[in-house]
Chain A
Amino acid sequence: MSALWTKTRAFVGSPAAVIVAGSMLVLVAATFATVLWPVYTMKHKPSSLWRPNRTLEDEGRLRYIANGCTYCHSQYVRPQDWGIGAERIAESGDYHQQQPHLLGSERTGPDLSQEGGEHSDDWHLAHFINPRFTRPRSLMPRFAFEGDRNIKALVAYMQSLGGKNADARVAAQKRFHAEAIAAYRKGPDENIEWLHSRVPRSWRAMPTESPVTDASVARGEKVYQDYCIGCHGPVGDGEGPAARYLEPRPVNFTTLRRHLIDRKYIGGILYYQIMNGITGTAMPYFKKDLESAKIWDVSNYLERNFIGHTDDKYPDVGIPASYEGKEAGPVTDQPAPEPPSRSVAP
């Protein structure tokens, strides 16, 4: 032991001790500079949208943590983002009192910092049971195993994301939900009347902007399968696998043929509803997922396959896209028309 003691005494003043102690000093200094100092000098105030969580929301947050949702979903919107919540770039005060932070480092799924009110509660329920019910190409695991109680908490947490901004969106969902459910209970045709009444007048008169060609319908079918089929079902009867969780249920497209105008089904109505969704119901908006042409394509698919009426033959009112105009029809094998004869003198 005394040998060890001698060695310890020798060690204390030796370069080895200087290395161990000196490096610890550097580390402590760095900790001060890059952790304690920024934490000390930062403002720790809640941002304008922050509000405290409710109990159920906090419970849901714990399930979010337990299931590692944070490994696929980030929770901050960046200036260059386009998706959900791109209206509001994250601020440090948004995370006030959150413990732990859930900023996340990957986006295998979309950012959720502004998820609150983006979807209706019943959409979330179906989505947690099986994400592919509402989003057919999703990779998210199923969470049916969490059970009713936890799913409820998770939904509450989802609806809280975005704080006061979320509350405003949730309020809109609630308002339209009341209207939608009242109309839905009156019967399918009354429901459709109500839905149409909620489409702006100009859109209700807007003819399909993209001719119902085979190519367009084929593209529309792909869009339908990637986005719509889980709720509206493979035959468009509103009986997709998600439907049993939804209230009101998805529209059965075949009933739309009872709501023709001028013996045509107006493409503008479909376009508007696909673009903006039916807030208050599980029907989400698609304008961030789908460009204009794709929305026309999928409404063409609905018209041709499920409704059986289109408004494609409306007289043209504007300047068509160059590939769609009547003059720019498909190239045929017809011989080119004879050029006017020169022999005929003017």
Chain B
Amino acid sequence: MLRDPLFVPKHTKGRPMPEGRFWEKEYSSARVWLAGGAVWMAIGTLAGLGSAIHLVAPDFFANIPWLEFGRIRQVHVNTVLFGFVVQMLIGCALYIMPRVLATKLFSEPLANLAALFFNAGVVLGDIGLMAGYTQGREYAEYIFPADVLLVIALVMVAVNMVMTLVRRNEQLLYVSSWYFAGAIVWTVFMYPLGNVMWHPATGAETGITDAIFLWFYGHNVFGLLVTPLAVGIAYYMFPRIAGAPLYSQALSIIGFWSLLLFYTHIGAHHLIQAPIPTWLKTVSIIDSFAMMLPVATVLVNQWYTARGRFGRFLTNPSAKLMLVGTIWYAIVCIQGPLQSLAVVQRVTHFNNWVVGHAHIAVLGFTGFIALGGMYYVLPYVTGRRVYSEKLINIQYWLILLGLLDFFIVLTIAGLIQGQDWLNGATVYRTVPQMKPYMTLRLAGGLMIITGAFVGVYNVLMTFRKGEPINP
């Protein structure tokens, strides 16, 4: 078994924060990315609230163009995905990456500048969406200028990650650093490709080709961006929390390469019923099942690392978030391959089942890990204890219960829709049936939103009033 770098940190402990302007200070960029993520979570879930209200009371925002369902839904999805999840995960990575490499981040100012570009991209993208400027392709809706801002930000982060790798003092590359560097570098390639950025006006290719481009990207934004970031954080956190070395380095290497190999082939499972080449669908379904391998390596590795020490995960709120995040990951990735099967999609495609999957994936898996990572990392990057552990616990329960509500309610709703359509009911007939479920989803959503605001308060108060840790 390989030596675990986490327990021989060369990183000097208790070293005073270097002087300088705030964007030059050590970990200043992690602070900015984390705080940004927390704030966008609140804004993004509010946009989700707007969408959810529409589905219960369509006249609630009647004739307010910028709150119209189709627009605010895009704001919701892009904001929680990029503003919240991606941003918070990168925030954690900016702290963890130098730690596992026993060096400093290559450039704090660069990472702070990247945050500026990234957030400007989200702001511009969102305003555009509300004003009706959209490219109309799921997860690639942001208009070209916003795409450019995001890509510039990602390039800056990528440079930072790679140069941090270059400057490392720890020769052994802990697997987290693979995932972080990989995620960002891959995304720099895949984001412009999927957003068809060589066509700035439409951001699209023509014909059915466009669907293939889109869903290659639409899947990879989860598979090659948020998943590896979240997995990288889990790989760092589990051994730390458990106080035990990682169960197996070999597994982590298998997991890394197989993730990359299989995830990149499964975009077409979003198009199983659409007129694209059959062989492409077949490949996507087979590789969807193959995905169980990388997922299993991650989960086995984390849970075996924690074996016998799960108690530690229940007393520490950020560890709880982390553990539950991996449990959601397991559920998502059992559900995922099954719903890529044509027989299953006959029922589940086009309805709320998929929306349920999307929420447990993006919020349950990556969102939980982002939050857990953030609360773990905050004291190290601010030099202060988290303002209130109790508030983390409250947030945890609000989001967990709200998300369970989403999962159960949306799955049931989806099954009803799917079975009814299969039996010949028109869509119009299933619309009124959705009312109770959409109402319950609204209730669950309110819990999640409350949780998001509790989180913002807790994070901001940590910056201002958190109890300083002895220098």
Contact = CB atoms under 8 A, between A and B. Distances in A.
Say whether A associates with B: yes
Interface of A: 4, 7-8, 11, 15-16, 19-20, 23-24, 26-28, 30-31, 33-35, 38-39, 41-42, 44, 65-72, 74, 76, 78, 80-84, 90-92, 94-103, 105-111, 130-132, 135, 137-146, 226, 288-289
A300 B355 CA distance: 41
B389 interface: no
Given A38-B276, A108-B55, A137-B428, A99 B210 contact: yes
Contacts of A80: 346, 422
A99 B173 contact: no
Contact of A34 (B71, B134, B216): B216
A30 B217 CA distance: 12
Contacts of B70: 67-72, 141
29 contacts: A8-B166, A11-B166, A16-B168, A19-B182, A26-B260, A27-B186, A35-B213, A39-B212, A42-B276, A67-B68, A68-B69, A70-B70, A82-B421, A82-B426, A92-B207, A95-B208, A100-B136, A100-B202, A100-B203, A103-B274, A105-B138, A105-B354, A106-B350, A107-B427, A135-B428, A138-B428, A139-B54, A142-B59, A145-B64
B210 A98 contact: yes
Given A34-B280, A92-B276, A4 B264 contact: no
Interface stretch (B113-121, B265-273, B305-313, B456-464): B265-273
Nearest to A8: B166
B226 interface: no
B167 interface: yes
Contact of A16 (B64, B173, B274): B173
A102 B354 contact: no
A122 B346 CA distance: 35
Given A34-B280, A92-B276, A288 B206 contact: no
Given A42-B208, A98-B206, A99-B204, A110 B428 contact: yes
Nearest to A5: B166
A74 B182 contact: no
Contact of A41 (B132, B277, B426): B277
**Nearest 7 A/B pairs, CB to CB:** A68-B70, A100-B204, A30-B264, A66-B132, A65-B136, A92-B275, A101-B210
B166 A98 contact: no
B18 interface: no
A92 to B, nearest CB: 4
Given A20-B165, A24-B189, A138 B132 contact: no
A144 to B, nearest CB: 6
Interface string B196-210: 000100111111111
A142 B57 CA distance: 12
B351 interface: yes
A200 B425 CA distance: 28
Interface string B58-80: 11011111001111011000000
A101 B211 contact: yes
Number of contact residues on B: which range applies?
35 or more
Nearest to B61: A141
B174 to A, nearest CB: 11
Contacts of B432: 137, 226
Given A39-B209, A103-B211, A138 B165 contact: no
B39 interface: no
Contacts of A26: 257, 260-261, 264
A141 B68 contact: yes
A4 B134 CA distance: 43
Given A27-B189, A103-B271, A139-B434, 20 more contacts: A4-B167, A16-B165, A27-B260, A34-B212, A42-B277, A67-B132, A68-B68, A72-B70, A92-B207, A98-B207, A99-B204, A99-B207, A99-B210, A100-B203, A101-B211, A105-B350, A106-B351, A106-B354, A135-B428, A141-B69
A186 B181 CA distance: 76
A102 B141 CA distance: 12
Given A23-B186, A38-B277, A101 B207 contact: yes
A100 B135 contact: yes
B424 A82 contact: yes
B202 A99 contact: yes
Most buried by B among A23, A24, A107, A109: A23
Contacts of B11: none
A315 B202 CA distance: 66
Nearest to B228: A23
B415 interface: no
B385 interface: no
Contacts of A66: 71, 132-134
Contacts of A35: 193, 212-213, 216, 267
Contacts of A83: 421, 426-427
Interface of B: 54-55, 58-59, 61-65, 68-71, 73-74, 132-138, 162, 165-168, 173, 177-178, 181-182, 185-186, 189-190, 193, 199, 202-214, 216, 224, 257, 260-261, 264-265, 267-268, 270-271, 273-277, 279-280, 283-284, 346, 350-351, 354-355, 417, 421-422, 424-429, 431-432, 434
Contacts of B178: 19
A42 B199 CA distance: 21
A248 to B, nearest CB: 24
A113 B233 CA distance: 44
A31 B203 CA distance: 18
A100 B210 contact: yes
Contacts of B216: 31, 34-35
Contacts of A101: 137, 204, 207-208, 210-211, 214
Contacts of A70: 70, 136
Contacts of A111: 427
Contacts of A142: 58-59, 62-63
A141 B57 CA distance: 10
A31 B63 CA distance: 42
Contacts of B62: 130, 141-142
B58 A141 contact: yes
A38 B280 contact: yes
A211 B61 CA distance: 44
A138 B429 CA distance: 9
A157 B75 CA distance: 25
A144 B63 CA distance: 6
A71 B358 CA distance: 14
B69 A72 contact: yes
B345 to A, nearest CB: 9
A138 B58 contact: yes
Contact of B58 (A20, A39, A140): A140
A270 to B, nearest CB: 21
A271 to B, nearest CB: 19
A7 B166 CA distance: 6
Nearest to B347: A80
Nearest to A22: B257
B189 to A, nearest CB: 6
A71 B77 CA distance: 11
Contacts of A98: 206-207, 210
